[in-house]
Amino acid sequence: MSFSEKIASLMQRPNEDLVPKDEVPWWMKYGGRGLGTVGGGLAIIFGLWNCSGILFINFGCAFAGLWQMVSGFIVIVIEAPCCCFFIDFVQTLSDFMEKRPYWNKAVLYMGFAIPPIVFCIGPTSFFGSALIFATGVIYGLMALGKKATPEEMRQNAVVNNLKPPLPFAGTRSSSNLVENAQPIAFTSTPIPPV
């Protein structure tokens, strides 16, 4: 058993299949999960710091702090349900989100990360939401899928170059937008009458 297989078996979820269903590399999958867990924890800490804005009558920062704490908790529940095993619905929510496509998580995490920065502009809002946003970016990259091999890309480039241009795309000289348009011709400067 290789080192990477040992790490993958340690990071495996309780009811996860041993055979991967997609072509996402294991390091990206577990990197996104780890970044989401750390980002969720930091979002809770920085959100608590933002909530202290209510002492200075800054309700925007207080709302941003509450938003960060809730979003950090939800990200931790989805990515690392073992951190919240004492709550009943955690495993159900985590399993539900695990069955969803990657782009759903990407949109959810990016949506969680933007409002605190809008309501309270500051370093705690930015750093608290940046890792959650980065987790969303990683899940977005995972949703794009595996890159094609160089041979497949060359073959697609050759096939696309052999296709004729689309009609009425303005690439041919005979295409006109108007039926009765006159062709463009060059005329010289008029000669003044003598």
Is it the case that residue 181 has pLDDT exceeding 70?
A: no
pTM, whole model, 2 decimals?
A: 0.67
Q: Which amino acid is at 60?
A: G
Domain boundaries of the chain, sorted by first residue: 30-144
- Check pLDDT > 90 for residue 109: yes
69-89 per-position pLDDT tens digit: 999 999 999 888 887 778 888
Give the integer Cα–Cα distance in Å for 11 and 121.
Answer: 36
Quote the crossing angle between the two packed helices 59-79 and 123-144, to the nearest 10°.
Answer: 40
Q: What is the model's pLDDT at position 19?
A: 47
Look at 9-13, 27-31, 44-48, 140-144 and tell me which has the smallest mean pLDDT. Answer: 9-13
pLDDT, one tens digit per residue, over 124-172 is 888 889 999 999 999 998 888 777 788 888 888 777 776 665 555 544 4
Please, which pLDDT band fits residue 107 given cuts at 50, 70 and 90?
very high
Is the per-residue pLDDT at 177 higher than 70? no
pLDDT band at 9 (very low <50, low <70, confident <90, very high): low
